[in-house]
Amino acid sequence: MQISIKHDVNQAIKGLSRLQRQQVPFATSVAINKTAVKVKQRLTRTIPQVFDRPNRMTRKSVKFPRKYWSTKRKLYAKVVLQDFASKGSAPADYLHAQIHGGTRSDKRSERALRYAGILYPDEQTVMSKYAKRNKFGNITAGQYTRMLSQMYASADPMQNKTDSTRSKKSRKQDAFFLRRSGSARGIWRRRGKQIAPFLVFVKRPRYQRRFQFYKIGNSVIKRNIDQEFAKALRYALNTMR
């Protein structure tokens, strides 16, 4: 997902001399980049207003990488959502439904459960209200890893549970198991004497648009690009040799 920023300068350069017009590509490039920074900043400030306790990756997901900067020969820039993650899903994937509406892409844990034949094609998972969460309201990666291991669903077979004495003792204190019937179908967790749902299986849900990514970005462009170009052109003309 990306917002492209360009600028039409035809009206603004009327009346400039040929020598002055040589400064226009520079001024245009500067204006585009400064506007792109404003778009990134505005979208970043909006994220905590839209989402409840977003984690660091989500808060920092709007990017303006150097490869997308405008230059005098490339008069456009792009502000994008981070599309990679070393663990879990990338923001561009899990925010897609929040921006466009509709269904969301599978999480890494859902893909693993589906590949293992545990999760049906038309299902996804939601966190149970009983699941232990971190300060951002999410299940930790460690819990997902332990769950996939005990479900024999880990992408790395070496991480799947074994029948060693140590593994059995660990599972006696903290065990995940599959429950296919009842109202809370899904992965349940036994911790000591307590048994509660961990992940609940639901029909693939549809989401409403929440994060007005394009609307906000385009409004910032419309509000700032002319002003930034005027400032950049004045500077270029005042410093031209």
pLDDT mean across residues, the chain: 87
pLDDT exceeds 60 at position 189: yes
pLDDT exceeds 80 at position 155: no
Q: How far apart are CA 6 and CA 226, in angstroms?
A: 11
pLDDT exceeds 90 at position 201: yes
For residue 213, with 0-12 CB atoms within 10 Å meaning exposed, 13-18 middle and 19 or more buried, which class applies?
buried
* pLDDT tens per residue across span 2-52: 888 877 777 666 667 777 778 888 999 999 999 999 999 999 999 999 998
What are the structural domain ranges in the chain? 2-87+207-239, 107-203
pTM of the predicted model over 0.75? yes
Nearest residue to 179 (alpha-carbon basis) of 160, 198, 192: 198
- Cα dihedral across residues 55, 58, 60, 65: positive or negative: positive
